[in-house]
Structure formats: C-alpha cells, structure tokens
Amino acid sequence: MATRFVCKPPGPRAREWIKRDTRVVGPSYPREFDFVFERGRGMYLWDVDGRRHLDFAAGIAVNNIGHDNPDVVRAVKAQLRKGIHAGFLDMYARLPVEFCETLLEHMPAPLNKGRVFLSNSGTESVEAAYKMVKWTTHAPYVHSFAGAFHGRTMGALSLTNTASKVQKEGFEPFLPARHSPFCNPYRAPCGVSHDCVNGCLHLFERAIKDGQVGAVFMEPVQGEGGYVVPPREFVKGVREACNRHGVYLVSDEVQAGCYRTGRFLSIENFGVRADVACISKAIGGGVPLAATVSIPELQQWHPGAHANTFGGNLLACAAGIAALKFMRRERLGENAKRIGAYMLKRLEKMKNRYEIIGDVRGLGLMIGIELVKDRKTKEPAVDARHAVLCDATGKGLVLLPAGESTIRICPPLIITKKQADTGLDILESCFEDLRGAL
Ligand SMILES: Cc1ncc(COP(=O)(O)O)c(C=O)c1O
C-alpha cells in the first residue's frame, strides 16, 4: 500500500540539506519524514524552502509554550550578557536555586517539600532517579512496564521496554530490571478488557513483592509506547502495591509533564503521589534542561555520589524560570484540557468514518490515534501511519509517530480552537487520501 501512496516531496533546499545531513550526521536518528527546520514562531514552523507548517509535534512535547516565546527569549538574552556557564558542580549560583524554588512551587505534595537534581535531558533525569534509588535501597532490581520508554543511556535503557526492538537490540546485557504488562485498555494485555486493571496489577505485585525491587518507574501516560492512557484504578493500584511492599514510585514525567495533560504532573490526574518525578523536555522552554525531584529521604547521598558539568547551566535555568512562569500565568494546563477534550470529540467522529482508525485516546493535549489493518484483529497498520505522516507534512501539518502504528498529537499548549480545527481538517484530508490509495 505504501508504495502506491505518493507523498509530496520536500522542496529543493530541503533536499539539498538532507543530502548534506546524510554525509555528516550519524545514521541512528529515526527520522520519519523530510522536514528541514528553518524557524519557528508560536504554533508555526517554516522549513528551509519557506513553507509554513502548523505544528502538532512541539519538537516532541518540548515547545509547550510555543516557538520563539518572547519571555524565554528575553530571559536568555539578559542572561547571555551576564554569563552562560558558572560550573554548578563546584560553585554556587543564584539562577539554579531560583529555578529549583520555582519548580518546587509547581510540584504536588509531597514533592513540593522535596529537593532537586539538575541535568540536561530526559534520560539523565531517569539515570539520576535510578542511582538515587539504588544508593538508598541497595535493592538489586528496578521495575518498569511493557511499552515504557525511559531513555537511551544504559540505566534508562534497561528500564525502556517498548514493543520496538530497535532501541535495545545489540546493547545487552542490561542492568537488572523486571517488567510486567501495562494496563492498555485498547489492547487489554492481561486478560479481557474489563479485567485489564486486576490482571495487570496481579502480575505487577508478583514482580515486586519479594523485597528485591527498589523502585517502580512508570509513565502515568505512556509516550513513545503509543500515547496510552491507563485506567485511574490501575495507577492507584500500582501506588498501593508500592506502599504494601516498601517500593518507591518514580513518575517519569519527561513527556507528559509540564501541563501537557492538564495538570503539572500527569500522575496528578490519577490522584496518586510519586516519590520521585523525572522532568525534562518542556521544562527548559526549548533549552536543554532536566530535573529529578524527590522526597528528602531519597536525597541523603554524599557529595560526589552524582553530579555533572552542565546541570544548573545559567542559560538553561533562566529559560526554565521564564518557561515555568509563562505556563502558569497563561494557564496552559486549562487550555490543554479544553482543547484536548474538543480534539478528542472530533477525532471520535473521524473514527466512525474511517475504518483504519482502531482507537482514539488521550489526556489533555497528549492524543494518540492508533491505526489498524482490521478492527477485529487489531493488526497495526504501520505503512498507513507512515503514509498519513508524510502526506500531512506535504500539506503543512507536522505530526509525529508513537508506538507501532499510532499517530501522536502533541501541539504547543498555546493552541487555539481554530488552529486545532485547521490541523484536524488537514488530518482528515489525509485519511481521505489514504482511503483512496487503499
Ligand atoms: C517518558 C520519557 N522518558 C525519558 C525520555 C528520554 O528523554 P531524552 O530523549 O531527552 O533523553 C523520553 C524521550 O522521549 C520520554 O518520553
């Protein structure tokens, strides 16, 4: 099918840059479509040929506050004149402290009384959580769920457990980690759908109850695994089992955090508290920044036990403070909830019109559309997903993949209803094209 589906090719300058890229950039980046970025503003991106695109990707859930955000630009410019890097590993500095204070104000209990470790990327924030738990508990194992993505450095990769083999293949052996199924309501991995919660919780408790597991790492809404929203009782059950067996709960908020699901942390939607939160992507307003926030009892490690050169970087912290203040002042969580609910309603209607759409799901502006070849067998429609992504790019809409055959919608949280409609109109026309090509 994909061979019969012809996407609009990128412009001449884009083709030239892609050629140059191929010569010098390593091949491990999994690019799905041919978009060459030139500049961004608000909800829009321009490619090197001057074509404007509506952004439903936000640089993988990074640009929550929109591109070229004036508050962040102003803060970074002001800091540029004072100093870019201090060396927070060896000396104190005002901005990283101010950033941590601002971040803690956004955190739910008990993390609002916690302490922060600073780094530069999602995988580093998970790595820090892993080491913190290991140092505190000395337990040999950690646990994560099927479909989880926690990053690509070796500690985080040991926790990553998506269906796709490409991230882990060839990197064995991993650090000791146990896994059990995540309650995915569409695929019901632990029994028939109504028993997804109990079935998965049973297997989960069996995996952690022998006293050998120090922490459970969970994305309350799975990201790379396919934008999967579990039932509330599942997340609550995980917390209860952790309490029963003295296991810490680490909430990986790298993708779902920073108001993307309506609340600052996605775990808050489930009425569940975390012992650790890993935050990155949107927290720096587009500048690399990450934070591992934990309850004080997990922050007893000695000086030098964990540190880095760039954590607390002054430009990143200036950007982070501005981004956090903008998110709160502009009530981006409320907008994410309102526009997300509206988009889900429209997508449900699309699902009724297009057989290829097996499932539509989401929380706030973290929305997944899973494509299947057959609604009964639920066989993933991988080629169809690729066709929609490249067709959309040609029509001026940037989308991303997630999981095996899910289209991911994660626009900047500043999106208006009109922009949401424009994007969904383009998406619908892609499903129409796809029907014609099948
Ligand atoms: C939930 C989650 N954790 C960790 C990571 C790793 O983040 P990074 O790519 O910044 O290392 C990602 C990246 O997509 C993620 O979605």
List all residues whose CB is within 6 A of at least one atom of ligand 1.
60, 121-123, 126, 149-151, 219, 223-224, 252, 254-255, 280
- Band (pLDDT 50/70/90 cuts) for residue 4 is low
- Taking the centre of ligand 1 as the mean of its atom positions, its distance from the CA of residue 278, in whole angstroms, is 10
Lowest mean pLDDT among 1-15, 48-62, 240-254, 329-343: 1-15
Query: Coil, strand or helix: which one is 44?
Result: strand
What number does the ligand 1 atom closest to the CA of 124 have? 11
Give the residue-averaged pLDDT of 246-265: 98
Q: Does position 111 have pLDDT exceeding 50, yes or no?
A: yes
What number does the ligand 1 atom closest to the CA of 121 have? 10
Substitution site in 119, 281, 400 for ligand 1 pocket (most atoms within 8 Å of beta carbon):
281
**pLDDT at site 5:** 62
Give the residue-averaged pLDDT of 91-102: 97
Nearest to 278 by CA among 261, 258, 260, 297: 258
- Is the link from the previous residue into 412 a cis peptide, with omega within 30 of 0? no
What number does the ligand 1 atom closest to the CA of 278 have? 3
Q: Residue 204: what residue type?
A: F
Residue 8 CA: distances (Å) to CA of 15, 108, 409: 12, 46, 21
Nearest to 129 by CA among 162, 173, 92, 159: 159
Nearest-CA residue for ligand 1 atom 9 is 122
- Taking the centre of ligand 1 as the mean of its atom positions, its distance from the CA of residue 201, in whole angstroms, is 25
HSE toward the beta carbon, residue 362, CA cutoff 13 A:
31
Substitution site in 280, 283, 287, 289 for ligand 1 pocket (most atoms within 8 Å of beta carbon):
280
Tell me if 313 sits within 8 A of 284, measured CB to CB: no
What number does the ligand 1 atom closest to the CA of 148 have? 1
What number does the ligand 1 atom closest to the CA of 223 have? 16
- Edge to edge, what strands does the sheet with 406-409 contain? 357-363, 366-371, 406-409, 400-402
The conformation of residue 57, written as its DSSP 8-state character, comes to S
Nearest-CA residue for ligand 1 atom 16 is 255
Q: Does position 237 have pLDDT exceeding 80, yes or no?
A: yes
Query: Coil, strand or helix: which one is 85?
Result: coil
What number does the ligand 1 atom closest to the CA of 122 have? 7
- The 10s digit of each residue's pLDDT in 176-213 is 999 999 999 999 888 776 689 999 999 999 999 999 99
- Taking the centre of ligand 1 as the mean of its atom positions, its distance from the CA of residue 232, in whole angstroms, is 23
Give the residue-averaged pLDDT of 41-56: 97
Give the residue-averaged pLDDT of 79-107: 96
The CATH number of the domain covering residues in 70-329: 3.40.640.10
| Domain limits, the chain | 2-65+331-437, 70-329
Q: Does position 69 have pLDDT exceeding 90, yes or no?
A: yes
Distance CA 119, CA 287 (A): 12
* Helix spans in 107-186 (H): 122-137, 154-159
Question: In 3-state terms, the chain is what percent helix, strand and coil (to 5)?
Answer: 40, 15, 40
The more confident residue out of 268 and 10 is: 268
- Taking the centre of ligand 1 as the mean of its atom positions, its distance from the CA of residue 306, in whole angstroms, is 20
Cα-Cα end-to-end distance for the chain = 6
Nearest to 102 by CA among 279, 253, 347: 279
What number does the ligand 1 atom closest to the CA of 256 have? 1
- Taking the centre of ligand 1 as the mean of its atom positions, its distance from the CA of residue 160, in whole angstroms, is 10
Nearest-CA residue for ligand 1 atom 7 is 122
Give the predicted TM-score (pTM) of the model: 0.97
- Taking the centre of ligand 1 as the mean of its atom positions, its distance from the CA of residue 123, in whole angstroms, is 6
- Taking the centre of ligand 1 as the mean of its atom positions, its distance from the CA of residue 401, in whole angstroms, is 14
Substitution site in 125, 145, 255, 292 for ligand 1 pocket (most atoms within 8 Å of beta carbon):
255
Tell me if 423 sits within 8 A of 397, measured CB to CB: yes
- Taking the centre of ligand 1 as the mean of its atom positions, its distance from the CA of residue 156, in whole angstroms, is 9
What number does the ligand 1 atom closest to the CA of 153 have? 11
Distance CA 281, CA 125 (A): 11
- Taking the centre of ligand 1 as the mean of its atom positions, its distance from the CA of residue 279, in whole angstroms, is 9
Long-range contacts at 93-101 (CB < 8 A, ≥ 24 apart):
93/312, 93/314, 95/312, 95/314, 95/317, 95/318, 95/321, 96/311, 96/312, 96/314, 96/317, 98/317, 98/321, 99/312, 99/317, 99/320, 99/321, 99/324, 100/291
- Taking the centre of ligand 1 as the mean of its atom positions, its distance from the CA of residue 8, in whole angstroms, is 30
**pLDDT at site 268:** 98
Query: Coil, strand or helix: which one is 401?
Result: strand
- The 10s digit of each residue's pLDDT in 6-24 is 678 889 999 999 999 999 9
- Taking the centre of ligand 1 as the mean of its atom positions, its distance from the CA of residue 265, in whole angstroms, is 15
Tell me if 364 sits within 8 A of 340, measured CB to CB: yes
Give DSSP secondary structure letters for 247-305: -EEEEE-TTTTTTTTSSSSGGGGGT---SEEEE-GGGGTTS--EEEEE-GGG--PPTTS
Superfamily of domain 2-65+331-437: Aspartate Aminotransferase, domain 1 (3.90.1150.10)
Tell me if 360 sits within 8 A of 228, measured CB to CB: no
- Taking the centre of ligand 1 as the mean of its atom positions, its distance from the CA of residue 438, in whole angstroms, is 34
Residue 104 CA: distances (Å) to CA of 47, 110, 263: 37, 10, 14
Ramachandran category for residue 46: left, alpha or beta (phi over 0 → left; psi -120 to 50 → alpha): beta
Phi, psi of 199, deg, nearest 5: -60, -45
Nearest-CA residue for ligand 1 atom 4 is 150
- Band (pLDDT 50/70/90 cuts) for residue 2 is very low
